[in-house]
Structure 1
């Protein structure tokens, strides 16, 4: 049906995104990519086209390109229909993709650190034994110096692995997963600072807005509250209208900085 429509009128982007949706349901990702690319050529702000193209690229494990398209879809979606269902759906897929990308890169970094640490430990031990062989014995002072160097080496690699280790500030979530650290057997608790989490959902912010009272909420949640519960701030109980909500750019910037440093927080 859509192929016929495209043949008759090849300049309507919706025809391509609708056909791409059909291909998506059949997992024909190459055709999804082709149709969405054409739709974007006709309408560069097409949320559906950027979204499905992002999914198609992720299927090919092109995480950088896929994430870029999902981010564009999210930006255009928030401008056009910030409370729409697609914004939430896009965010979920974007967060999953970013977490997967971080996890893969993290595993590679940790493996390289472990290999480098083994090499350094081996070099220190060889140096220690060489000194012992030259003197004929190991003095208590030399043993203590060797132990101190090994301790310093551990500290250096602990610091190097911090970006791949959950932070221990502002304990918020009780989500336990196995994290790749210098000790892979460790089980750690993922934590996100309170100020980066919505007071209604208790989840990490996605699109934070601030009310006149100074309280920051997740946009979708506070809008839902205003529409279904009443026109008041849920925490201060003061009157509140939709047009009084303002994007909290400071929190949004802080959130992005936190996510850039702690990619594990994308796991929702």
Structure 2
């Protein structure tokens, strides 16, 4: 997998509009998504088994508590209900990263609305996907599509902070590799 990522980085540096770069990205995204899907399924099963064991343990504890707290059955039942709610909350939180949601806007290109692969920043502070902004400069005109300020290819600078943020986000939310 590391070699594929290095190939993608090398290809992007040479020609970000290359069909090879797009093919490498497609294969990388597919492989990463399948890897996440497998791991997510495994985590789901493990969480279900653990949750079942915890529920059974709480039920047994409730029986013991109820027999020891005669006359305070309502309080024991209330405490037990509160523990079941807390347990449910813990397992819901544990499964959250595996539930697809919206990718945050700051990790997406303003033009394509897709998650960044090779983000570049303009002098005005707007970040775009490199291949997309280069295509805009070539086909539409030498200006920033959002600010309308004059813009040339030489003014584009890699946005390493966003690139790292995307990498970290994708590492935690593998479902975001899914290609629509």
Gaps in structure 2 of 5+ consecutive residues = none
Selected match of 2:164 from 253, 262, 265: 253
TM superposition shift of 1:131: 3.0
SS of residue matched to 1:209 = strand
Indicate yes or no: 2:125 matched with 1:214.
yes
**TM-score scaled by structure 1?**
0.63
Unaligned runs of 5+ in 1: 1-66, 167-189
Shift of 1:80: 2.3
Q: Give the distance between the partners of 1:240 and 1:76, measured in 2 at CA.
A: 25
Which of 142, 151, 158 is the aligned partner of 1:231?
142
TM-score after normalising by structure 2: 0.93
Residue aligning to 1:71: 5
Equivalence map 1:4-15=2 (5 Å) = none
* Structure 2 residue corresponding to 1:194, chosen from 105, 115, 124: 105
Matched, 1:97 2:31: yes
Q: How many residues align?
A: 179
Please state whether the residue corresponding to 1:72 is helix, strand or coil. helix
Deviation at 1:76, TM superposition (A): 1.7
Deviation, 1:165, is: 2.3
Shift of 1:135: 5.5
In structure 2, what is the equivalent of residue 178 of structure 1?
none
Greater relative contact order (Cα < 8 A, sep 6+): 2
The equivalent residue for 1:142 is: 76
Q: Which digits, 9 at most, give the CA deviation of each residue in 1:119-158, with x for residues without a partner?
A: 0100110111233345667711110011011111112212
Structure 2 contact 69–76 (Cα < 8 Å) conserved? no
Local SS of the residue matching 1:161: helix
Where 2:28 maps in the other structure, the secondary structure is helix
- Cα deviation, 1:47-90, whole Å, max 9, x if unaligned, reads xxxxxxxxxxxxxxxxxxxx223212102212222221111111
CA distance in 2, matches of 1:138, 1:154: 25
For 1:107-146, list aligned pairs within 5 A: 107-134=41-68, 139-146=73-80
CA distance in structure 1 between the aligned counterparts of 2:105 and 2:68, rounded to whole angstroms: 58
